[in-house]
Structure 1
Amino acid sequence: MGEDTREYWYNTETGQVEEGRRSDWSKVMGPYPSREAASHALEQARARSAAWDAQDEAER
């Protein structure tokens, strides 16, 4: 039994998930531990940005 060390990246240019980083760093988000997590990269980024914006607004 080996440890699963695969990493997945979301390619913002193609909208595809890549196993292993094959594209230029400026076009990918990650790494993510699973294909499923990588497929939701943009949703996660939007949610984090919204939370940070709300926190900034609350601090003003």
Structure 2
Amino acid sequence: MSKQEWGIDDPSETYWYNSRTGQVEEGPQSLSVDRIGPFTTREEAARANEIVAERSKAWRDEEAAED
């Protein structure tokens, strides 16, 4: 999926959560293995771990319902 399909025209205008440092970054600054994102706001990036947990639970629930 391209950045345009994600609604990202300029990657430097996005926010990322660095899972190694626990910091929010403006634009992709660190290695991709350490980044979660992109997010459209700083606040959303700061909640990255919570968002990942919510999505994981939703996927698990969806898979369980299909069984």
TM-score relative to the length of structure 1:
0.86
When the two chains are superposed, the root-mean-square deviation of aligned CA atoms in Å is: 1.0
Instruction: Count residues with an aligned counterpart.
Output: 56
Residue of structure 2 equivalent to 1:17: 24
Alignment partners' CA distance in 2, 1:21 and 1:58 = 36
Percent identity of paired positions between Structure 1 and Structure 2: 45
Gaps of 5+ in 1: none
1:38 aligns with 2:45: yes
Distance 1:54 1:11 in 2: 27
Work out which structure has the larger RCO, using CA pairs closer than 8 Å and 6 or more positions apart in sequence: 1
Distance across 2 between alignment mates of 1:57 and 1:47: 15
Which ranges in structure 2 are unaligned for 5 or more consecutive residues? 1-9
Rg larger in structure: 1
TM-score between both structures, scaled by the size of structure 2: 0.78
Q: 2:43 aligns to what SS in structure 1?
A: helix
CA-CA distance at 1:31 after TM superposition = 1.1
Matched with 1:58 is 65
| Stretches of 4+ aligned residues off by more than 3 angstroms | none
